Amino acid sequence: MLIALPAKAELFGLKGYVLKNGMRLAVVPNHKAPIAKHMVWYKVGAADEELGKGGSAHLLEHLMFRGTQKVRGQSFNRILEENGAENNAFTAQDVTVYHEAVDISRLELAMALEADRMRNLSIDENSFETERKIVYQERKQVVENNPLYKFSEELQRVFWQDHPYSRPITGSESEILSLTRKDVKDIYNRYYVPNNAVLVIAGDIEPDAVYRLAEKYYGKIKPVTLPLNKEIFDAKVESQTALRMKLPDIELPRLIKKYHVPGYTEAKDGIYPYIVLSKYLGEGEVSKLYVNLVVKSKIATGVSTDYNFVAIRGGSFSISAIPAKGVSVDDLKSALESAMKQAMSELDAKTLQKYKKQMLSGLMYAKDNPNEAAQVVGMLASAGMSDDEIENYANNIEKVTVADVKKAFNTIINSTQTEAMVEPEGAKK
């Protein structure tokens, strides 16, 4: 039995373009309110940094708000503020993203400002020094104030080994303090170019008009040949690892199993069985592992799965669980392993159909909020998905069979993996 889908089920109703300089544009019309979300996704992040230069992509993200030759000093934020924009930026392993939510009458202003700072950034020594202090404080506040960070960063190192994803996005404390202006300029000059960016605009607009304006503001920026990042091809992770930590100041034990599985870069449309598998095993309160471990056996108080397929240098599949009071992490681990096997033995066509229906029934909501639509489209497009691939999500999920999901499961359990546990210091083993 197939789920009834419209002849052409479109996730967002997006329309894509490529500007003459190679910049990709994705437009998602949404006419509910006279507003737009404008996002520039640069395909460069912490994983592109040279060794020892951790945090330089993130520091550059901060310095992008410190003025260009035309829009000097802090005018960027001032201009956007007076025009009612909500603007911010974030840095991840593979991308650095700048975004503005604006009244529709200010969309062109956001385009002009973002286009200007794609190539004309000026970084003076004073701003650099101050901003380096700020990102140092940011690491202390956002990362180190949370006592669990030692476990999270250690897990990242153990799981990714020599791979660039093993390093924290903020950089380490000593790396931050030793960064130079040249380090951030290098990233800016190499990677902040139109042919390395995805422009996403969602809101009260017509796609062709946006395309014309994108050519007007961004089109005049010349493309630049991109460096090849060797690390992508070299860093293989081949050892199984385990991590066991005891930490002061944490109160809850946690168990995380993490597997190296193909992401979109390698698997292309092979990602969908993993997406379905993740939903089936551990997304939400009717997922198999949740029902088995939390609702029925009560060995855990929480369990969830996550499949990261957008990381361009390697995907991962994670299962996280928290043991119930009085249950050891080791007992939870055994219970989790048998629950996984049991879940797979219970998977038949009818069950699969039920879970797929859950995944597809709420797709309409994706169109509701232009801010969220822009975020998802930007993430998928930056991972290399074509417009059609993004729009055909429902059909691709629909095609997944029981055999596909079982194969994905077998790939996962036989993959290179890390088992990580953390317990409060002083807790009995």
Partner 1 sequence: MSHRPLYAKRHHRRWLWLLFAVLVIFWGWRYYFVFNPQKIIENSEFKNKSFASEVVEITAPKSGIKAYWMQEKSNPIVSMSFVFANSGSVRDVKRGTANFVAAMLTEGNEQLSSQSFKEKLEEYAIGISFSADKDDFSGSMVTLKENLPLAKDLLHKALVAPRMDETDFVRIKNQILQSLEYLHEKPQHRLRELTNKEIFGNHAYAYEPLGQINDIKTISVEGLRAFIKGNLTRDRIYAGIAGDISREEAEKLIDEVFADLPEKGNDKEVIIPEIDFSAREVDTVDEKLPQVLTAIVAPSVERLDRDFYPLYIANYVFGGAGLNSRVNQAAREKEGLTYGAHTGMSLLYGAPHLVGGFSTTPQNFERMSKIFADEWQKMGTEGISKEELTAAKNYLINSYNLRFADIGTLSAILVSMQKENLGIDFLQKRNFYVEQVTLERVNRAAKKYFSPEKLIFINMGNIKAERN
Q: Which stretch, 78-86, 303-311, 338-346, 407-415, contacts partner 1 (CB under 8 A)? A: 78-86
Q: Which of 86, 124, 234, 269 binds partner 1 (CB under 8 A)?
A: 86
Q: For 253, phi and psi rounded to 5 degrees? A: -75, 155
If binding is defined by CB under 8 A, does position 248 make contact with partner 1? yes
If binding is defined by CB under 8 A, does position 144 make contact with partner 1? yes
Q: Which of 232, 235, 324, 427 binds partner 1 (CB under 8 A)?
A: 324
Q: Which of 41, 65, 188, 272 binds partner 1 (CB under 8 A)?
A: 65
If binding is defined by CB under 8 A, does position 109 make contact with partner 1? yes
Closest separation in Å from C-beta 214 to partner 1: 12
If binding is defined by CB under 8 A, does position 131 make contact with partner 1? yes
Contact between residue 301 and residue 321 where contact means Cβ atoms under 8 Å apart: no
Neighbours of 40 (CB within 10 A): 26
* Subset of 151-210 contacting partner 1 (CB under 8 A): 204-205, 209
By beta-carbon proximity to partner 1, the closer residue of 160 and 280 is: 280
By beta-carbon proximity to partner 1, the closer residue of 234 and 425 is: 425
By beta-carbon proximity to partner 1, the closer residue of 259 and 355 is: 355
Q: For 264, phi and psi rounded to 5 degrees? A: -65, -35
Cα within 13 Å of Cα(75), Cβ side? 14
If binding is defined by CB under 8 A, does position 137 make contact with partner 1? yes
Q: Which of 5, 20, 78, 242 binds partner 1 (CB under 8 A)?
A: 78
Q: For 383, phi and psi rounded to 5 degrees? A: -75, -5
Q: Can you read off the two tokens belonging to residue 244?
A: 């066991």
Contact between residue 316 and residue 165 where contact means Cβ atoms under 8 Å apart: no
Strand order in the sheet with 254-261: 241-247, 417-424, 254-261, 315-323, 300-308
Contact between residue 382 and residue 197 where contact means Cβ atoms under 8 Å apart: no
* Subset of 7-46 contacting partner 1 (CB under 8 A): 30-35
DSSP 384-428: T--HHHHHTHHHHHHT--HHHHHHHHHHHHTS-EEEEEEEETT--
Closest separation in Å from C-beta 12 to partner 1: 12
If binding is defined by CB under 8 A, does position 51 make contact with partner 1? no
Q: Which of 322, 344, 381, 408 binds partner 1 (CB under 8 A)?
A: 322
**CB environment 114-132: b (16+ within 10 A), e (fewer):** bbbbbbebebeeebbeebb
If binding is defined by CB under 8 A, does position 102 make contact with partner 1? yes
CA 238 from chain centre, in angstroms, equals: 24
CA–CA distance, 356 with 53 (Å, rounded to integer) = 44
By beta-carbon proximity to partner 1, the closer residue of 295 and 349 is: 295
By beta-carbon proximity to partner 1, the closer residue of 53 and 132 is: 132
By beta-carbon proximity to partner 1, the closer residue of 110 and 385 is: 110
* Subset of 261-290 contacting partner 1 (CB under 8 A): 284-286
* Subset of 339-398 contacting partner 1 (CB under 8 A): 354, 357-358, 361-362, 364-365, 367-372
If binding is defined by CB under 8 A, does position 298 make contact with partner 1? yes
